[in-house]
Amino acid sequence: MGISNRNKWIAAIAFILIMGTLAALIIEKDSPPISQTDVNILKELPESFTFFELGPNTRYNDTIRSRLSRSLGSDAISYKSQIDLTINSSDFLQTFFPEIYKLNLILNYPPRERVEYDVIKLMYRYSKKIDVPFKYVELVFSGYSHKPLYFKIIVSHDGSNVIDSLHQKYGTPQKIEESAQNISSSYWIKNKDTLIVDNQKDRFGNPEYHIMIYFVNSIEELIDIVKKGVQKREEKIRKAGDKAF
């Protein structure tokens, strides 16, 4: 290869490296302006509820994913998703758990728009095939702190022992009974975090238990992180506008 051709190759490689660097800067600029320090200073949260030993201060990692796969089977994973805290019906939280309802409104504002967050969502749909009574399991972790935000679990009619174990571990729950609305639910609250068991029926009329574990402290933490990111971005835009004139 002649010197001229070699110089062309060197120039081409340099151009590719420069463009790659610029692309990385653009991606970084368009990402939420949340520094690693913001994540690291998040305080330890009070203990509350657990599922497969995952609690409020668990930090998601690949080891945890592998362990869950051994217990629940194969998973599907998503890193960008909406956050839906609904259980039973759209009115259930508003009526009986207004604080969680408010958090759900904040997370899904503006309404009728698809608002997505940086999360780690694990979904298990075939757990019954490996001899555990879960029809569906959804575990959602913050993409910033890697702490759990909420767990959604559907237990089949042959999993009443799961409900019994909740009573043994967390004591006698508070009850919600509304026969007119066909609502029969139990719940526990510990350090703001909330565990709800809603009794429903499957399409064959068999009892089915819908469980939601809301790590309220972690959800509030996520909202605070996102707000800080928006404020930083707005400040950056304002400063850029000031410089223009």
The pairs formed by 61-66 with CB atoms below 8 angstroms and a separation of 24 or more are 61/146, 65/122
* Separation CA 143–CA 78 (nearest Å): 11
| Peptide bond connecting 148 to the previous residue in cis, omega within 30 degrees of 0 | no
Number of Cα atoms under 13 Å in the Cβ half of residue 172: 1
- Please give the C-alpha separations between residue 40 and each of 36, 37, 128, 189, 231, in angstroms, as whole numbers: 6, 5, 38, 27, 19
Rg, Å, the chain Cα set: 23
- Given the DSSP bridges, would you call strands 174-178 and 148-155 parallel, antiparallel or unpaired? unpaired
Q: What is the pLDDT along the chain (245 residues), one digit of tens a residue?
A: 554 555 545 444 444 444 443 333 333 333 344 555 455 556 899 999 999 999 999 999 999 999 999 999 999 999 999 999 999 987 999 999 999 999 999 999 888 889 999 999 999 987 666 677 899 999 999 999 999 999 999 998 888 888 999 999 999 999 999 877 889 999 999 999 999 999 998 888 888 999 999 999 999 999 998 888 554 554 554 445 455 55
What integer pLDDT is reported at residue 230 of this predicted model? Answer: 53
The DSSP letter of residue 45 is P
pLDDT at 205: 86
118's CB contacts (< 8 A; 6+ apart) are 32, 79, 80, 142, 143, 144
What is the four-CA torsion angle of 119, 125, 130, 131, rounded to 10 degrees?
Answer: 110
Structure token digits, residue 238: 């304002």
**Residue whose tokens read 């070699």:** 6
Query: Is this model's pTM higher than 0.85 or not?
Result: no
Q: How far apart are CA 90 and CA 105, in angstroms?
A: 11
Pair 209, 92: CB distance under 8 Å: no
Question: How high is the pLDDT of residue 14?
Answer: 45
Find out whether 151 and 212 touch, Cβ atoms under 8 Å. Answer: yes
CA distance 107 to 195: 19
pLDDT of residue 1: 52
